[in-house]
Amino acid sequence: MNYSYIIIDDDQESVLKTKAIADSFSELDFVASADNYEDGLNLILEHTPQLVFLEIDPANTASNLSLALINELYRYLKVIPKIIITTAGKDLAFEAIKYEVFDYLLKPLKRIDVVKSVLKLNKSIVPKEIVSEQTLVVDAEPTVLARQEIPNQDHSLILCIKSYGDYRYIAARDICYFQADNNSTDIYLNTGEMITAFKTLKHFEGVLSFPFIRIHNSYIVNRNYISRIHSGNSVCYIKNSAVKLPFSKSYKVNIDLIISDFSNGNYLEI
């Protein structure tokens, strides 16, 4: 899943550094930047990004950048963007917590800190999307994919592959990986079975979120089925199988996200 973002910072050098780090993540799409309170507010209201990198202790006090911007957003928006504070000092961290900011990163920004924020972002978005059980209906004919909500106590995501009146239901948790095949996609299950859907891999990348992660032009993998990552050979191993999926340099940042996600869990490195 991709997230649009805006940078609000009075220091142009900091804007460029933040953007350089953020642009290394395929999930993050830059919209615009602003160097003062008023322009920043207007950008957020106009573009409604999912993410805002915000400086709250500016060098130029005339910019009026502060946590007050968050209060102003509540006057106009029902859904407030995730706010990531980017500033040089720790002294405003406690006050920022009271504003329920998503994260607080110290300058100069480190890439690993943004990695952790993106992982947190992926995890925070998933529960909101799966409020009730959802069925993704994928026609075998090349038509538009539809999303339907079905009231049920089971909150797992279901994919439905539909073909001429034949409805095939797949629990997303049973999918190991997706493989591109021209304008169709092969879906590989933990049973060893393969099912073809007439949608592109990019289409699935757009409608699925964590733990499904794009690692190659031809592959999306379910992070929960990765048993091993070999950086030297640029391959991921799939649990309980002999399958090895290649990952490309252009998606190396997503591999870093997966490695970091493993280390943030109940984890022991030996």
Categorise residue 258: left if φ over 0, alpha if ψ from -120 to 50, beta otherwise. Answer: alpha
Number of domains in the chain: 2
pLDDT of residue 154: 45
pLDDT in tens, 156-174: 788 888 877 788 899 999 9
pLDDT in tens, 88-117: 999 999 899 889 899 999 999 988 889 888
Q: What is the mean pLDDT of each run of 10 residues along the chain (270 residues)?
A: 91 94 88 96 95 96 95 91 94 90 93 88 58 53 40 65 83 95 92 91 86 93 95 94 93 87 81
246 and 202: one domain? yes
What is the span of the domain harbouring residue 176?
134-263
106 and 147: one domain? no
pLDDT of residue 25: 86
Amino acid identity for residue 93 in this structure: A
| Domain closes at, from 102, 129, 156 | 129
What tokens appear for 205 in the block? 């990348």
14 and 121: one domain? yes
How far is it, in rounded angstroms, from Cα 227 to Cα 221? 12
CATH number of the domain that 231 lies in? 2.40.50.1020
67 and 180: one domain? no
CATH number of the domain that 60 lies in? 3.40.50.2300
| Domain closes at, from 129, 157, 181 | 129
How far is it, in rounded angstroms, from Cα 55 to Cα 229? 36
